[in-house]
Structure 1
Amino acid sequence: MLTLWKSVQLFLSIGLVATIAACGGENATNSSGENPANQGTPVSATPKSSESEAPSAGEKANAEFQDKLSGQELLSALQKGGHVIYFRHAQTEKDYADQADPKMNLNDCETQRKLSDVGIKQAKDIGAAFTAKKIPVGEVITSQYCRSWETADLAFGRHTKDPKLNFLPFEDYTDEQVKEMKANVMPLLTAAPQNGQNTVIVGHDDIFEAATGIYPDPQGMAYVLTPDGKGGFTLQANMLPEEWSKL
């Protein structure tokens, strides 16, 4: 289950407290994990809401997610391996849809969003916690964006880039584009890790939302998935950057 502190942080991160008061407490949606775009709602690469806007279905799913594993039980499961840990990259200096910028170049970090000092510390602290808690890491797969592979390098000292984790070059997506992103990432989310290891993926918000219906927020948020060997997975827990050291 979510700790009280995690719940407070998640609600503050998307302005839900003010939104619920303003909107009369909308019913939660997307509890089945279906992609909201399939219901005719485009996924947006821009920040999802402000205090004056209703939260998206993906934001609600993130805020209301209930851990199946937590604490020592989660740590023991991770130490045994067999899981996929999907990180949204650590915090950046700005949050905007740089993938839609025609001047953005995947081979030039100066044209992309950069990790902030906070983000750099988040990544290092995550890596230190994995070492201290003896959580085994096999493959480390990232998008081609600098903020993703730099997060991986700071945390785990290595990475392999996979363009299937990249955004499509748009700020807002059609249903078909969301399906394309889901088709790209699902093989990575459902692949069984190496024996006794966990696979780490460092990617982006909209990619994960396309596959799960959950918009991972804030930056640095991770979700722990367990592949079922049949092309699916179970979402076990979500973790804020600072929670790894407290497992």
Structure 2
Amino acid sequence: MGAVEAESLLTPAELIAALREGGMVLYMRHAATDHSQFDQSHNRAMLQDCRMQRNLSAEGRQQAERIGQAIRTLGIRIDEVFSSPYCRCRDTAQLAFGDHHVMQALHFAIGMRQSERAQMSEILRRQLGQAPRSGSNRVLVSHTANLKEATGLWPMLEGVVMVFRPQQGQSYQFLGQINPDDWPE
């Protein structure tokens, strides 16, 4: 992918126009969470018990619903939605988009062995470079560390959407980001 010049990034309005055309991959960091909660383990068995994880806050639940509603109102077609197995990501995907599939490769990279992180990064890069169905977009709901590990990009805000255009040969171009408050009401 290479370094991205700040001047070459699209504005939120330009990104929305590109999303309406389709052909993009949206990497969404889960919506706002309750930071008084902590992940008690990164063990895969714990992922079925949301009480052992940091979960969406009330604000985060509203944020996910608001982003999903904006995407529908804008006529942005979403074909597939994949989520990390963590409750905060599954809940974000469900509230924003409805139907979604859990993808183990989107598991939170922190706490994983280096070999596992490398494999997860390779799968994520392939997902970013795989074109969705014509006229539609694909969504990946996951964590900040995963994208940083795979691409060097750091999606700081909870609920941020990072937009990628798949290129020939399974590569991709980062186009820019839409912050949670950038979506029109």
Q: Is 2:140 the counterpart of 1:201?
A: yes
Q: Secondary structure at the match of 2:75?
A: coil
Distance 1:120 1:198 in 2: 22
How many residues of Structure 1 are paired with residues of Structure 2 in the alignment? 185
Taking the TM superposition and a 5 Å limit, the aligned residue runs for 1:174-193 are: 174=114, 176-193=115-132
Identify if the C-alpha distance between structure 1 residues 101 and 207 changes in structure 2 by more than 3 Å, giving closer, same or farther: closer
Q: Deviations over 1:116-169 (max 9, x none)?
A: 011111101101111111111110110111110110111111211110100246
Higher-Rg structure is 1
Q: Is the 8 A contact 1:142 1:201 kept in 2?
A: yes
More strand by share: 2
Taking the TM superposition and a 5 Å limit, the aligned residue runs for 1:64-103 are: 65=6, 68-94=9-35, 98=39, 100=41
Q: Is the 8 A contact 1:142 1:165 kept in 2?
A: yes
Compute the RMSD of aligned alpha carbons.
2.6
Structure 1 residue ranges without an equivalent (≥5): 1-30, 34-60
Q: Is 2:46 the counterpart of 1:105?
A: yes
Greater RCO, 1 or 2 (C-alpha within 8 Å, sep 6+): 2
Structure 2 residue ranges without an equivalent (≥5): none
Q: Is 2:155 the counterpart of 1:155?
A: no
Q: Deviations over 1:29-83 (max 9, x none)?
A: xx944xxxxxxxxxxxxxxxxxxxxxxxxxxx9xx95562225432221111000
Out of 99-108 and 145-154, give the one that drifted further.
Answer: 99-108
Corresponding residue for residue 71 of structure 2 = 130
Relative to the length of structure 1, the TM-score reads 0.67
Deviation at 1:229, TM superposition (A): 2.6
Distance 1:191 1:243 in 2: 26
Stretches (4+) displaced over 6 A: none
Distance 2:41 2:6 in 1: 30
Deviation at 1:178, TM superposition (A): 3.9
Corresponding residue for residue 165 of structure 2 = 226
Identify if the C-alpha distance between structure 1 residues 195 and 81 changes in structure 2 by more than 3 Å, giving closer, same or farther: same
Deviation at 1:244, TM superposition (A): 1.6
Q: Deviations over 1:95-125 (max 9, x none)?
A: 7772745697111111111100111111011
